[in-house]
Amino acid sequence: MSAQNLTLVQAVRDGLHTEMQNDEDVIVLGEDVGKNGGVFRATEGLYDEFGGDRVVDTPLAEAGIVGTSIGMAAYGLRPVPEIQFMGFIYPAFDQIISHAARLRTRSRGRFTCPMVVRAPYGGGIRAPEHHSESKEAFFVHEPGLKVVIPSTPYDTKGLLISAVRDPDPVVFLEPKLIYRAFREEVPDEEYTVPLGEAAVRREGGDVSVFTWGAMTRVTMEAAENLAAEGVDCEVVDLRTLSPLDRDAVVESFRKTGRAAVVHEAPKTGGLAGELTAIVQEEALLYQEAPVERITGFDTPYPLYALEDYYLPSVARIEDGIRNVVEY
């Protein structure tokens, strides 16, 4: 079995490449995805290999990109539109929410929307305004959408292939902070990582820490630091936020009886609230401490001089976990 050491963004490219080779119906479209290979190089070389009909530089219009993708998907193609940054997805919001998410429902199954909307999300790269948001909760709130956020190169390729093959629309959010942070062996051939399954990144008995995307690495670092103090964290990377792997969440919580959630999105209305509700509903009698939410603040994402304060840092995560353990 051959494999290469890839970064996360290279794994995105590899996943797209694999599916474009497998299935002629897969088409990639968006701003600067063609000749330029994407502003993060996530589609590098695809234009040369598959041509301008399948790797399409579109006019600068997100509603147009996603709206036409929905039409293509309904017609039988498998479009993979790219939104250049998550902060620029809003012109397409109406199309995603009012149509992609409910085309199957509204047409009683006559029309479907097998589309993957890819977008880099999240902060920490000293980017300009509107380039750092994490608004996954908007999409998780919408029934009819699947929402995926990988945190490793291996998972990225496998989850992306699953998303492309999925019969329903998927919002695939890529943690751009760790696009090039590390490499991992990624098999050359096709493989899938199933949607809707969390991964335990670190087993531990004292406290469950639920997280995803770029926060997984910071959380792991905090967990290792805490291990030296004798606190044994179980780190669960959710990988798919909708549908959430409730079983994995509940199983871990039953073991530890304590939980923290780490996400970079604002606290209010963020997924930490949903996870808290799940453990309340499913495992109340196991609970030994309030669930701690270690999140971004309820403020607009600041310009970058303040972003290190905004994002959950190792120190903040350690502090939050200690609160749970010492309760």
Partner 1 sequence: MSVLDRGPREQIQVLDEAGELVGDPPSLSDDELVAIYREMKLARHFDARAVSLQRQGRMGTYPPMSGQEAAQVGSAFALDEADWLFPSYREHAATHVHGVPLERTLLYWMGHESGNRMPDEANVFTIAVPIATQIPHATGAAWAATLRGDRHAFLCYFGDGATSEGDFHEGLNFAGVFDTPTVFFCNNNQWAISVPRERQTASETIAQKAEAYGFDGVQVDGMDPLAVYRVTREAVAKARDPDADESRPTLVEAVQYRFGAHTTADDPSVYRSQEEVEEWRGKDPIPRLETYLRETGRLDDERVDAIQASIEEEVSAAVDTAEGERRPHPEEMFSQVFADLPDRLREQLEDLERLRDRYGDERFLKE
Ligand X SMILES: Cc1ncc(C[n+]2csc(CCOP(=O)(O)OP(=O)(O)O)c2C)c(N)n1
| Residues in contact with partner 1 by the rule CB under 8 A | 31-32, 34-37, 39, 57-64, 87-88, 90-91, 124, 126-131, 267-268, 297-300, 302-310, 313-316, 319
The smaller minimum CB distance to ligand X, of residues 91 and 273, is found at 91
- Backbone torsions φ then ψ of 207, nearest 5 degrees: -155, 140
Query: Which is nearer to partner 1, 53 or 189 (by Cβ)?
Result: 53
* 111 Cβ contact partners less than 8 Å away, ≥ 6 residues apart: 74, 103, 104
Q: How many residues bind ligand X (CB under 6 A)?
A: 6
Whole-number CA gyration radius for the chain: 19
Binding partner of 23, given partner 1, ligand X, none, CB within 5-8 angstroms per partner class: none
With CB under 6 A as the contact rule, the residue among 22, 51, 60, 229 that binds ligand X is 60
User: Which of partner 1, ligand X, none has residue 310 at its interface (CB below 5 to 8 Å by kind)?
Assistant: partner 1
Cis peptide bond prior to 290, omega within 30° of 0 = no
The residue at minimum Cβ distance from ligand X is 88
- The verdict on 31 binding ligand X (CB under 6 A) reads yes
Q: Residues 164-203: x/- map of binding to ligand X (CB under 6 A)?
A: ----------------------------------------
Supply the DSSP string of 199-243, one letter for each residue.
EEEE--SSEEEEE-TTHHHHHHHHHHHHHHTT--EEEEE--EEES
Q: Which is nearer to ligand X, 88 or 191 (CB)?
A: 88
Per-residue interface string for the shown chain with ligand X, residues 73-102, x marking contact by CB under 6 A: -----------x---x--x-----------
Contacts with 93 (C-beta within 8 Å, 6 or more apart), sequence order: 138
| Residue number, 62 or 174, with CB nearest to ligand X | 62
Identify which of residues 86 and 248 has a Cβ nearer to ligand X in the complex: 86
38-61: buried (b, 16+ CB within 10 Å) or exposed (e) per residue? bbbbbbbebbeebeeebbbebeee
CA 234 to chain centre: 20
Mark whether 131 is an active-site residue: yes
Burial category of 291 from C-beta neighbours within 10 Å (exposed 0-12, middle 13-18, buried 19 and up): buried
Binding site for ligand X (CB under 6 A): 31, 60, 62, 84, 88, 91
Active site residues: 131
